[in-house]
């Protein structure tokens, strides 16, 4: 059985989104997840999770997807 590190990252970001969503608005949750990824995830992990956005069935929950999209936008701004 092979292990897909990308799938593990999807599970992790989905779990972060679930944990941060309690009692917060959608935008607060998205901002919190994005901030968590920026602060605590290694550069390679961020690149891998952003790459999952191109997959039709990435497995990302809606709030997690929004957070990763925001992360991708911020990463793009930093490299310009």
Each residue's pLDDT tens digit, 29-75: 999 999 999 999 999 999 999 999 999 899 999 999 999 999 999 99
HSE-CB for 32 with a 13 A CA cutoff? 17
> Is residue 1 pLDDT above 80, yes or no?
no
What tokens does 45 get?
């992990």
Q: For residues 46 and 26, is the Cβ–Cβ distance under 8 A? A: no
Per-residue pLDDT at 79 exceeds 50:
yes
Structural domain tally of the chain? Answer: 1
Domain interval for residue 52:
5-79
Report pTM.
Answer: 0.91
């Amino acid at each position: 059985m092979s292990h897909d590190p990308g799938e593990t990252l999807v599970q992790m970001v989905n779990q972060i989104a679930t944990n941060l969503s309690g009692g917060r608005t959608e935008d607060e949750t998205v901002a919190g997840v994005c901030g968590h990824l920026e602060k605590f995830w290694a550069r390679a992990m961020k690149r891998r999770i952003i790459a999952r956005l191109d997959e039709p069935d990435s497995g990302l929950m809606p709030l997690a997807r929004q957070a990763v999209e925001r992360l991708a936008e911020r990463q793009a701004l930093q490299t310009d």
